[in-house]
Amino acid sequence: MTSHFANILSMTTTTNPKVGSKAPKFKTEDQNGEIKTLEDYKGKWLLLYFYPKDLTPGCTTQACTLEDNISKLKKLNVEVVGVSCDDAKKHQKFIEKHSLSFTLLADTKQELVNKYGVWVEKSMYGKKYMGIQRDSFLINPEGIIAKHYIKVKPEAHAAEVIEDVKKFSKE
Contact 157, 136 (CB under 8 A): yes
Domain 19-170 has CATH 3.40.30.10: yes
The pLDDT of residue 14 is: 59
40-49, 82-91, 121-130: range with lowest mean pLDDT: 121-130
Which residues are registered as beta bridge partners of 49?
Answer: 82, 136
Mean pLDDT over 25-36 rounds to 96
What is the tens place of the pLDDT at every residue in 139-159?
999 999 999 999 999 899 999
Task: Yes or no: say if 68 and 158 are a contact pair by the CB < 8 Å rule.
Answer: yes
CA distances from 61 to 116, 132, 149 (A): 22, 16, 17
Determine whether 18 is exposed, middle or buried from the number of CB atoms within 10 Å of its CB (0-12, 13-18, 19+): exposed
Backbone angles phi, psi at 36, to 5 degrees: -115, 145
List residues with catalytic annotation. 59
- pLDDT-derived band of residue 129, with 50, 70 and 90 as boundaries? confident
Q: Which residue has the higher pLDDT, 101 or 123?
A: 101
Q: Contact, 70 vs 102, CB < 8 A? A: yes
Determine the Cα–Cα distance for residues 14 and 16; give it in Å rounded to an integer: 7
Domain limits, the chain: 19-170
Residue-by-residue DSSP string for 121-140: EEEETTEEEEEE---EEEE-
Burial class (CB in 10 A: 0-12, 13-18, 19+), 127: exposed
Within the chain, strands assigned E span 27-29, 35-37, 45-50, 78-84, 103-106, 119-124, 127-132, 136-139, 145-149
